[in-house]
Amino acid sequence: MNKIATAFALTFFLAFASFGAHAQGLIVKLTDPSREDLPVGKGMTVTGTATIPNGYHLWVLVRRSDFDGVWWPQGEGKIDPITKQWRVGVTFGTEDDISWDFQVAAAVFNAEGHIILDEYRKRALKTGDWKPIEIPETESPPQIIKVKKISHR
């Protein structure tokens, strides 16, 4: 019985230690939009600060509030190594989306997730096909804030 308890404790410890190493060092903060329900137009520059380990990538995504499960990848936030600040220009849908709530998310992805998002963005820029997509698994919970589209200017 002691061996089973020891094995269970060791398994639990290793799983927890692995999770901690996986999530360790990921700090992401949205600074603009600065508050919930901020009125927005066609687009804005989303800003924040972040500390993430090498090999990981910060992305900003947007979705209309009724588009559960899918997002529009907007771009990778290049983090300044000194100030830890980043910024990404985003677009909130089309003129038809006025009066809708949107969610803005800053999320961290591993190299594989980054490649998926980067290829989507490059393809969309070339073709003009900006259909929302399911995003890859994030490395930590995304930072999300809701805004309200009030114009398309």
Q: What is the pLDDT of residues 44-97, one digit of tens each?
A: 999 999 999 999 999 999 999 999 999 999 999 999 999 999 999 999 999 999
Name the pLDDT band for 16 (thresholds 50, 70, 90): very low
pLDDT of residue 19: 33
**Per-chain mean pLDDT for the chain:** 87
Asked if 125 contacts 87 with a C-beta cutoff of 8 angstroms, the reply is no
d(CA 109, CA 89): 19
What is the pLDDT averaged over residues 110-126? 97
In the chain, the percentage of residues whose pLDDT exceeds 90 is 81
Query: What pTM value is reported for the model?
Result: 0.83
Domains of the chain: 26-149 (2.60.40)
Cβ atoms of 69 and 99 closer than 8 Å: no
Distances in whole angstroms, Cα of residue 81 to Cα of each of 29, 48, 52, 128: 15, 13, 10, 33
Three-class DSSP labels, 9-46? HHHHHHHHHHHHHHHCCCEEEEEECCCCCEEECCEEEE
Handedness of CA 120, 123, 129, 130 (dihedral sign): positive
Return d(Cα 70, Cα 135) in angstroms, integer: 7
Beta strands in 52-141 (DSSP E): 57-64, 72-76, 85-91, 101-109
Give residue-wise pLDDT tens across range 95-116.
999 999 999 999 999 999 999 9
Distance CA 45, CA 89 (A): 4
What per-residue confidence (pLDDT) applies to 20? 34
